[in-house]
Chains A and B, each alone.
Chain A
């Protein structure tokens, strides 16, 4: 929002990134270039390496090989907190609330640490993030007392409070009812129209297709399909991944 990248200029570039835990290769040579303002969806079976890819992008995990560039800067060796301050927001698939803090204070942590705000500006940012995630009503509730849906929304609110340029969403719609899912889709779509670049991992394909303009399919640590969402969903590669059969 503050920095408007020209059309086609990549905000995020993932270049031949690999990640292995000992002998287990989770990601092998992943290439991904995401232009500023794009909404990108990632699908793939369990264990394909989707969450690991987000972790390598935001710095929660270090890549074993390859480089990650964000806003033109090489951030491969940059710690996660510095990447967050540079404008990467991330939600976790299994919510990680700050259980003893209130919902507002959870968001405030993002607004102060991530967005670097203080005083009234930080309060306002955190309140705006709660409003966007529809959590203002439970602002004073201890985060540890939230039900699953609340925890998922809290993940989103906290990430938004950091004022991200790039938002990494990890299965934020999983486990929601259809109505809840629709309101979440509306929220994410409005974030997209505000110009925030989004990378969204999701098993609920219907929700994903309602927002993203590009879809990537990840399987056994490599990208097997990348392109226009409906074409990707129809492609032989994706059918093979989900339904079995020769690639």
Chain B
């Protein structure tokens, strides 16, 4: 490793990697968006589940892995998101717009709730969020118009089942893409460093000028909106809510924890891998009944014991790979004598322009 000398260093945000990620990402998104034209609807409609699982895992990871807020109450927003679809659908909006509008409204609710939740720390915060989720369920079942305790179907929906599935598929895809891109850019921003500093040491973060409550509140609200969007997708896919206890179930939190821990907490890639693992397990082993849960539990225990950093954490420490670069790397700008930086006219393949500019200014 080259030594780092004052005045001859710059910060590398892996911009080139970001460009590669964006190009490949755009290709993957396009392919997924076109998939319904290639595959049977029975196949693509199953992917909807994968999309909302990734959304949920990413949201919980942002909350717990990056901001240090371990919540077991995200099902509050999943449930509200699902029921919000009914509310706005009844007001005359189509189900898809209802999903988006409801999620924004739930973001506002989460903002208000954050003032209550943030009075609690650590384990108490976790329990408090669970209490909030239970309270949300209790309130929702008071309304006969929402099916009371029995669940409800969407009244005004697209008639053609193929189109319905297609729209839900695209909505779920759009949501997971927005969630991942939003999280990536959030973590690359100033807020990303602030959040992680709060997670690691709140007192020191505050002493360095980090507005701790503000940073946490932004993430709390964003994670709630993401969970609400996922809840709305679940509602759209099932054409309603089977029962309030299902959509407000604490097992959602258990699965989110499972996916994030299996994949690797505190990384962007981890929750995606965890969600895929869970999705595949669910697809092939869920008929096993109780044994399925035993297998999930054993897998979770094995991974936390032997791969405490999760699957992605283990891969990363072994191969030094990054899919979504959020970190900073300080690199030397100095180059061997004689190898002068290229002039503006010379072609510099595979070199970002800002790197060239940085080396030029330090040597000028």
B residues neighboring A (CB under 8 Å) = 3-6, 9-11, 190, 193-194, 196-197, 199-201, 203-212, 266, 327-330
Q: Which residues of A contact B209 (CB under 8 A)?
A: 81-82, 84-85, 110, 113-116, 162
Say yes or no: B196 contacts A127, CB within 8 Å.
no
Say yes or no: A100 contacts B196, CB within 8 Å.
yes
A50 to B104, CA, bound (A): 49
Q: Which residues of A contact B194 (CB under 8 A)?
A: 109, 112-113
A residues neighboring B (CB under 8 Å) = 58-60, 79-82, 84-85, 90, 92, 96-102, 104-106, 108-110, 112-116, 118, 122-123, 127-128, 131, 136-137, 139-140, 158-159, 161-162
Q: Which residues of B contact A105 (CB under 8 A)?
A: 193, 196, 327-328
Q: Which residues of B contact A104 (CB under 8 A)?
A: 11, 328-330
Minimum Cβ distance to chain A for residue B67 (Å)? 12
Say yes or no: A98 contacts B3, CB within 8 Å.
no
Minimum Cβ distance to chain B for residue A156 (Å)? 12
| Contact with A131, one of B6, B199, B211, B327 (Cβ below 8 angstroms) | B6
Main SS of the interface on chain B? mixed
Minimum Cβ distance to chain A for residue B69 (Å)? 15
30 contacts between A and B (CB under 8 A): A59-B206, A59-B207, A60-B203, A79-B206, A81-B207, A81-B211, A84-B207, A84-B208, A92-B203, A96-B201, A98-B204, A99-B201, A100-B200, A101-B200, A102-B327, A102-B328, A104-B330, A105-B196, A106-B197, A109-B205, A112-B193, A113-B210, A116-B209, A123-B11, A127-B330, A136-B4, A136-B5, A159-B208, A161-B208, A162-B209
Q: Which residues of B contact A84 (CB under 8 A)?
A: 206-209
Q: Which residues of B contact A58 (CB under 8 A)?
A: 207
A156 to B237, CA, bound (A): 54
| Contact with A98, one of B190, B196, B212, B330 (Cβ below 8 angstroms) | B196
Q: Which residues of A contact B9 (CB under 8 A)?
A: 127, 136, 139
Minimum Cβ distance to chain B for residue A37 (Å)? 22
Q: Which residues of B contact A59 (CB under 8 A)?
A: 206-207
Q: Which residues of B contact A80 (CB under 8 A)?
A: 206-207
A110 to B210, CA, bound (A): 8
Minimum Cβ distance to chain A for residue B6 (Å)? 4
Q: Which residues of B contact A82 (CB under 8 A)?
A: 209
Say yes or no: B328 contacts A98, CB within 8 Å.
no
9 smallest CB-CB distances across A and B, nearest first, come from A114-B209, A84-B209, A96-B204, A139-B330, A98-B200, A131-B6, A113-B209, A113-B210, A109-B197
Tell which of B3, B201, B330 has the most Cβ of chain A within 10 Å: B330
Minimum Cβ distance to chain A for residue B361 (Å)? 10
Q: Which residues of A contact B11 (CB under 8 A)?
A: 104, 123, 127
Q: Which residues of B contact A113 (CB under 8 A)?
A: 190, 194, 197, 205, 208-211
Q: Which residue of B has the minimal Cβ distance to A117?
A: B190
Minimum Cβ distance to chain A for residue B205 (Å)? 7
Q: In the complex, given contacts A81-B209, A109-B193, A110-B209, what are 18 additional A-B residue pairs having Cβ atoms less than 8 angstroms apart?
A: A80-B206, A84-B207, A98-B200, A100-B196, A102-B328, A105-B193, A105-B196, A105-B328, A109-B194, A109-B205, A112-B193, A113-B205, A123-B10, A123-B11, A127-B330, A131-B6, A140-B329, A161-B208
A60 to B266, CA, bound (A): 27
A80 to B201, CA, bound (A): 14
Say yes or no: B3 contacts A110, CB within 8 Å.
no
A126 to B229, CA, bound (A): 38
A79 to B212, CA, bound (A): 11
Minimum Cβ distance to chain B for residue A183 (Å)? 15
| Contact with B4, one of A112, A139, A158, A162 (Cβ below 8 angstroms) | A139
Say yes or no: B266 contacts A122, CB within 8 Å.
no
| Contact with A136, one of B201, B329, B330 (Cβ below 8 angstroms) | B330
Minimum Cβ distance to chain B for residue A52 (Å)? 14
A113 to B5, CA, bound (A): 25
A162 to B327, CA, bound (A): 20
Q: Which residue of B has the minimal Cβ distance to A137?
A: B4
Say yes or no: B6 contacts A136, CB within 8 Å.
yes
| Contact with B190, one of A85, A102, A122 (Cβ below 8 angstroms) | A122
Q: Which residue of A has the minimal Cβ distance to B207?
A: A90
